[in-house]
Structure 1
């Protein structure tokens, strides 16, 4: 089983309209409501790939109840339902709004602030994850903290996983990433903005890229992916450095592409895919997701068909 942790999930409402005009009243012609959050997307993609997974994190309030209902009801290929075991909290889970413009590929997202946490709620999540670790083949720690004061959460979870010999994929930024690095995660996937805002390095500048990699490599990670939208991905793998260029696709919605990449990487890594094949497989999965509406979309046949078109070059 692969366990995903989403400390800051949300109820994600996507509205479609022809064109967004500021200062105007709009009537959407389509609405979709799904469970959002990086770890949830990872579990959704893993289930699409047929992998056993469990999603956990914090949810609360009326939106938390909706998230539970949606997770219970969500049907994905092979009629799987995403299993989950979230910690109930006193606060209400946030809502996110994404406005998709059908006249273009532009979209605008607005997310509510994260909820407040209490110390006993954080301790409960650490306890729940620790109890699950003996059944886990990997742990994915995904996204931001909902509030300040609990940046140590990922540190505690990584240390618990290392004691249980469970590999950890950390996909976060700011203080949770800085603190989490000290605990020694196995895999990392920050994007360009996250590296810039966390460490002050712009990876589009070669000198900055090497300084950023040096800081991340110090954590002892076996694989590091630094993504930059549709631009090439910088990959550090077992002391080797690559530049991987995703294939061109018919773009629909990139939301969740990085999370799908994380899921595909873990899927392939647990199956002992060779290094270059694994990198291509992960990047192809992110591209396949961007060609569909649903975040966390992953289809094994589509990924395998697209993977040879990922251009991989040693740096």
Structure 2
């Protein structure tokens, strides 16, 4: 079984308008209302591919109830912890020229007793199931709890050291983990996030990126997938690097593609596949999501077809 942990999910609303007029009345049309949350998207994808998957984290209020109702349409198991307040809203405003403005709420304050409830839930899930992989996903809500993700990683390691841990976050939350003793097995920054962590310029040059990773903070993590958009990805496994290439596809919606990479990883780790096969499933899942209208969704047959065109080319000095 796989587990995804989303501590700061959201209900996402997408609005279309001709032009955003700051300081004036804007009348918009709601194009889409959907469940947001990296771990929820990853759980949906892993379940679509065939892995038994449980999604946990925190839900609250009307928005939390909406997320639970939507979960009935998916194949993952919802095992969320209810909290006070209301799960946050995130808004995306898209103008006719495709200029996008995002407005994301921080989420309600998370106190210590709720965090301890999460730790207890994770431990119980591990003890009562054969868990292959766990992903920690997304941003953190406002909280005074220090080393949030490192503490969860430590609990997982103590409960079952054989579980593979995927971390999909950015900013300070990611830095806190990378500077701790509690490292995940996988991370998947994009090129911008990798550049920020390495204090380097953004690049899609795999040879340059390999050199920067080898001499930077990211080298502490054994397995890294740096997504490079339509240029594929750079993958690190121990001290080996691979450039991932695949046949171009017709892109419909790239939202959730990174989360779908995590979903593919979860599935492959649950199947105990070798490393290169695991990467193929991950990249194919992320690519297949981009061909769908729905965010964080893949068709298994399409993923398998995409895998046929994936190349992993060793990156040498």
TM-score, normalised with respect to structure 2: 0.86
Deviation for aligned residue 1:108:
4.3
Deviation, 1:110, is 2.6
What's the offset of the Cα at 1:258? 0.8
What's the C-alpha RMSD, in Å, of the aligned pairs?
A: 2.3
CA contact (8 A) 1:196 1:202 kept: yes
| Aligned equivalent of 1:312 | 312
State the distance in 2 between where 1:273 and 1:203 align. Answer: 32
Conservation of the 8 A alpha-carbon contact between 2:42 and 2:260: yes
Instruction: Map 1:44-83; keep pairs closer than 5 Å.
Output: 44-71=44-71, 73=72, 75-76=73-74, 80=75, 82-83=76-77
Query: Helix, strand or coil for the counterpart of 2:308?
Result: helix
CA distance in structure 2 between the partners assigned to 1:236 and 1:48 by the alignment: 26
Taking the aligned partners of 2:143 and 2:194, their CA distance within structure 1 comes to 20
Q: How does 1:72-221 map to 2 (within 5 A)?
A: 73=72, 75-76=73-74, 80=75, 82-99=76-93, 107-134=100-127, 135=129, 136-163=131-158, 164-165=160-161, 166-181=163-178, 182=180, 183-204=182-203, 207=208, 209-213=210-214, 214-219=216-221, 221=222
Deviates more, 1:305-314 or 1:274-283: 274-283
- Does the Cα contact within 8 Å between 1:254 and 1:289 map onto a contact in 2? yes
Which 5+ residue runs of structure 1 have no aligned equivalent?
A: none
Q: Which residue of 1 aligns with 2:35?
A: 35
- How far apart are 1:57 and its partner, in Å? 1.0
Query: What SS is found at the alignment partner of 1:155?
Result: helix
Distance 1:203 1:278, change over 3 A: farther
Deviating runs (4+, > 4 A) in structure 1?
Answer: 103-108, 205-209
**Match in the other structure for 1:11:** 11
DSSP-derived class of the 1:212 partner: helix
TM-score by length of 1: 0.87
SS in 2 for 1:91: coil
For the residue of structure 1 that corresponds to 2:155, the secondary structure is helix
- Mapped contact 2:170–2:193 kept (Cα < 8 A): yes
- Distance, in Å, in 2 between the alignment partners of 1:252 and 1:151 is 39
Measure how far apart 1:174 and its partner are. 1.9
Residue 208 of structure 1 deviates from its aligned partner by 5.7
Q: Offset at 1:105?
A: 6.5
Q: Does 1:285 align with 2:301?
A: no
* Residue deviations 1:6-44 (CA, integer Å, cap 9, x gap): 1110012234x4x6412273442x633222100000101
CA 290–125 in structure 1, closer or farther in 2 if over 3 Å, else same: same
CA distance in 1: counterparts of 2:264 and 2:125, whole angstroms: 22
SS, match of residue 168 in structure 1 = strand
Number of equivalent positions: 303
Deviation at 1:148, TM superposition (A): 4.7
